[in-house]
Structure 1
Amino acid sequence: MEPPPPRRRASPPAIPDELFEEILLRLPPDDPACLLRASLVCKAWSHTVSSPRFRRRLHELHRTPPVLGVLHNWADERIPRFIHTTASSFSLAAPVWRTWRALDCRHRRALFFPQEFGGPEMLLWDSITGAQQRIPVPAAFKSDDFPTAAVFCAADGCDHGDCFGGPFRVVFFFTVEVDEGTHATSACIYLSETGACGELTSAHSNREFLEFRESYSVLVDRSALYFMLDGNADTASVVQFDLASHDLTVFGLPDTYYDFAYSLVLVEDGGIGVIQCLNTRLKLWRREASAEVGWVLNRVMCLENFLPVDALLHAQHKVQVVGFAEEANVIFVDTVAGLFTIELLSGHVRKVCSDPGVRIFGS
């Protein structure tokens, strides 16, 4: 008598697409390669990962986006233009530093200025798609001006989880000579919808020549942009540009004794603040709405509690805050031991690059 044929195992029940989506949503947000690998498994997963619904839900679940990397302007072939800061080691094909200098990066867009000053155009680079777009430079820019500009999403009510290809603004800041020996701080806005710049807004005439620092901008509550102005010990200051009224306001720093030791940040309530770098300490100052009150000391960070010892033991190489990622609330700290990120809320530290002196202009 022949044995009965073996029973065929029943196929496991198909996993609903909704469950796949829930699993993929919980992959580590600071390791984007996980989602890339998941998208290559099958067409269904690729469709899920690339859908606007998935990107929106991913943003809603994790809220604070990770800092994927930084752009720098250091002329060193050993270091890629884009330095990743995540668990996945990947590199984006950013515009080369020989031709373009990074100025600003926000809402997945990065802004570059020609290395040869006086160029008629800036370059806008989409860090997700790699698409590039030329932006006309205002006529008031001169070849000897140091360019300062900021880019941001202009879509109403956008959470920046899926605003690729949407409207944006570029705000240009510079100083112009009103008459002999007198200068004014000026600004104008480029609108992507019209492809043109608006009229100049000017304020703050001064006998001393003021110029913008080679640094990043900070956007507060989609209502105001902030930049740093250079000058001597009594003119170093912060510029506020109201995006609704186009008013420019210039105000001083908490303590001008340590000239140029300040970097812009956001504080806990979403207002503007500055970090004052004092050797192994960082003082965080908050700007009060009342002009009479001005700056209030908010917090002091002892870097010995955050950075390794070898990052602080060098008399000739000062610790500097060289960048700030707004949405992630992360500062970039340049030390003799390399570049580090510090999350201001949690205090979590990550080493980004071993080479000191990298100047960060976007994140």
Structure 2
Amino acid sequence: MAMIHPPSQRVHHSPPALIDDAMSEIFLRIPADDPKSLVLAAAVCTAWRRILCDLIFTRQYRKFHGAPPMLGFLRNTYHDKQYEEYVVSNFVSTASFRSPACHESRHWHVLDSRHGLVLFQTRKTKRGEDLVVCDLVTYDRWRINLSPELSDIIWDDENVENEMVTWNAAVLCAKDQCDHTYCHYGPFLVALVSSDEEQDITFASVYSSVTRKWSDMISIPEQDLMQMAGRIAVMGDKVYFQCEGVETTVEYNIGEQELSRFDLPGEDEEFDESEVDLVGVDDDGMLLFTTVLGPRLYLWSLEACPNVAEHWSRRRVIELGPLLPPRALFGISVVGFAEGVGAVFLNTDAGLYTIDELNSGSGRSKKVHGEKSVRRVMPYMSFYTKAWGRSRTSH
């Protein structure tokens, strides 16, 4: 009797290209503030890692998500121990991201964070650097010495503790026509502005990572003092520094090497005793100012102008009562702003909160730290693409 053999089973394999396309679409939808998931996916197999590390995919990923996500923020804490006063800077993660490039750094003062870079002032040492720029994603670090003229002003023994001389500095990407979604490995600038009440001048200089030199100093007559911990905003090649108090903002046009100033518009009488702070740039490319009055956050957008502005361009009020727990409605102050994602950092009696009402209108709030006396935070915004294969994340 003849044996009956079962029909041969044919295994149908999907074309690899179709599988790769499907996985790419899945990977694109992983939230940009969750780099840990992408790192783990890259470790699953060679095929997935090839997709995630592909240059075309990383560009598509950044385009799909738009503005770089907020991976965390930096802040300074001040200590007085055994007759020694010192500052400690640290990075606080708000995403599945841990950077080995910046943990707690004693005697490092965070000055600014922008375009995936962080600017620190370091304690003067025999090694000689005055400032350090760090990329928390690529772990790159650049040490910068001040020009002799700037060093004499900032590090002079009489000026270090002299409240009559103050300064601030900003770091910004210097790539041509950059959309600032991926500024890693590119050139950068450090803009430094200082004011001297005794001499009645404000002066400025800019450092280029390409030439590794500071520009010649420029100056204007100015009576208002710069805040070292004051807010900074950048629009194109113009950097804005808020002076002490609320009256004056200094504009440093790096491209034209010009300094100018403008006064804030007159506020309503109800805000006479409230601080109006520069916090950044809004989505319309206008300077964003805020003040807190009771359980309300007031926001103004102002078109930057070297002359005195006549009126606010837009005014908006956000009710904080529905967004924050009862304990957090006391001691409120704005201490930071994450451009692009529209998150405002609020220091409260119950800790540090963010609200994302500005862009999404979702009215969500999130407690990001238990500290109750935060003076200022500097959000760290960056995509984590191209570093997935060698990243370190929280587990």
TM-score range, shorter chain: 0.7 to 0.9
1:273-284 counterparts in 2 under 5 A?
273-284=288-299
**C-alpha contact (below 8 Å) 1:333/1:339 kept by paired residues:** yes
Partner Cα distance (2:54, 2:373) in 1: 40
Q: Percent identity?
A: 32
Partner Cα distance (1:75, 1:43) in 2: 47
Partner Cα distance (2:228, 2:338) in 1: 18
Alpha-carbon RMSD across the aligned residues, in angstroms, is 2.8
**C-alpha contact (below 8 Å) 2:276/2:291 kept by paired residues:** yes
**TM-score under structure 1 normalisation?**
0.85
Q: Secondary structure at the match of 1:211?
A: coil
Partner of 1:96: 104
What do residues 228-265 of structure 1 show as CA deviations (whole Å, max 9, x unaligned)? Answer: 1104xxx7421122232222222223448336442323
Q: Secondary structure at the match of 1:230?
A: coil
Partner of 1:345: 359
Q: Secondary structure at the match of 1:28?
A: coil
**C-alpha contact (below 8 Å) 2:77/2:89 kept by paired residues:** no
Displacement of 1:122: 0.5
Partner of 1:18: 21
| Counterpart check, 1:122 vs 2:145 | no
1:243-322 counterparts in 2 under 5 A?
243-254=254-265, 255=267, 257-258=272-273, 260-288=275-303, 289=305, 291=308, 293-312=310-329, 314=330, 318-322=331-335
Partner of 2:176: 156
| Counterpart check, 1:81 vs 2:80 | no
Partner Cα distance (1:146, 1:36) in 2: 43
**C-alpha contact (below 8 Å) 2:242/2:249 kept by paired residues:** yes
Partner of 1:361: 378
**C-alpha contact (below 8 Å) 2:89/2:109 kept by paired residues:** no
| Counterpart check, 1:326 vs 2:339 | yes
Q: Secondary structure at the match of 1:164?
A: coil
Q: Secondary structure at the match of 2:184?
A: coil
Partner Cα distance (1:205, 1:356) in 2: 35
Partner of 1:42: 45
Displacement of 1:296: 4.2
Distance verdict in 2 for CA 1:353–1:80, change over 3 Å:
farther
Larger deviation, residues 107-116 vs 291-300? 291-300
Q: Secondary structure at the match of 1:182?
A: coil
Displacement of 1:329: 2.5
Partner of 2:392: none
Amino acid at match of 2:45: C
Amino acid at match of 1:360: V
Partner of 1:71: 74
Q: Give the aligned length.
A: 347
Partner of 1:131: 140
Distance verdict in 2 for CA 1:283–1:26, change over 3 Å:
same
Q: Secondary structure at the match of 1:310?
A: helix
Displacement of 1:75: 4.9
Partner Cα distance (1:6, 1:61) in 2: 48
Partner Cα distance (1:92, 1:237) in 2: 38
Partner of 1:194: 211
Partner Cα distance (1:47, 1:163) in 2: 23
Structure 2 spans left out of the alignment, 5+ residues: 80-87, 381-395
Match of 1:57 among 51, 57, 60: 60
Higher helix share: 2
Partner Cα distance (1:336, 1:228) in 2: 26
Match of 1:28 among 26, 31, 35: 31
Amino acid at match of 1:247: E
Displacement of 1:80: 9.1
What do residues 307-363 of structure 1 show as CA deviations (whole Å, max 9, x unaligned)? Answer: 221201x4xxx2111111223222211111111122212243222112222331342
Q: Secondary structure at the match of 1:305?
A: coil
Displacement of 1:117: 9.9
Partner Cα distance (1:68, 1:214) in 2: 22
Partner Cα distance (1:20, 1:218) in 2: 39
Distance verdict in 2 for CA 1:159–1:54, change over 3 Å:
farther
**C-alpha contact (below 8 Å) 1:168/1:191 kept by paired residues:** yes
Partner Cα distance (1:51, 1:93) in 2: 25
Partner of 2:241: 227
Partner Cα distance (1:291, 1:261) in 2: 16
Distance verdict in 2 for CA 1:330–1:51, change over 3 Å:
same
Distance verdict in 2 for CA 1:268–1:166, change over 3 Å:
closer
Q: Secondary structure at the match of 1:68?
A: strand
Partner of 2:84: none
Distance verdict in 2 for CA 1:117–1:73, change over 3 Å:
farther
Partner Cα distance (1:80, 1:169) in 2: 22
**TM-score under structure 2 normalisation?**
0.79
Distance verdict in 2 for CA 1:356–1:4, change over 3 Å:
farther
Partner of 1:105: 113
**C-alpha contact (below 8 Å) 1:56/1:161 kept by paired residues:** no
